[in-house]
Amino acid sequence: MKELHLNIRGMTCGHCVRAVREALEAVPGVTRAEVSLEASEATIQGDVDPKALVAAVEAEGYSAEVRT
């Protein structure tokens, strides 16, 4: 199982955090997703293509990039 980190832009409230977390958790292969409003990032565990994670966040109206 891998751990991936995303920088996320556009979140402003708890609703945003919940929407991003739920979108990430819906991606096949994700076993856990934690999203931080304060840090503007997400930590994802699972076996998943990072591009699918970015696409899920962008589909919710936020921008994301894989943190290296």
pTM of the model: 0.94
Q: Enter the DSSP assignment of 13.
A: S
Query: Where are any strands of DSSP class E within the chain?
Result: 2-9, 30-36, 41-46, 63-66
Over residues 5-23, the mean pLDDT reads 98
Q: Which residues constitute the domain of residue 50?
A: 2-66
pLDDT tens across 23-63, in order? 999 999 999 999 999 999 999 999 999 999 999 999 999 99
Confidence of residue 68 (pLDDT cuts 50, 70, 90): confident
Count the domains in the chain.
1
Q: Enter the DSSP assignment of 11.
A: -
Question: What is the domain-level CATH number for residue 44?
Answer: 3.30.70.100
Confidence of residue 1 (pLDDT cuts 50, 70, 90): confident
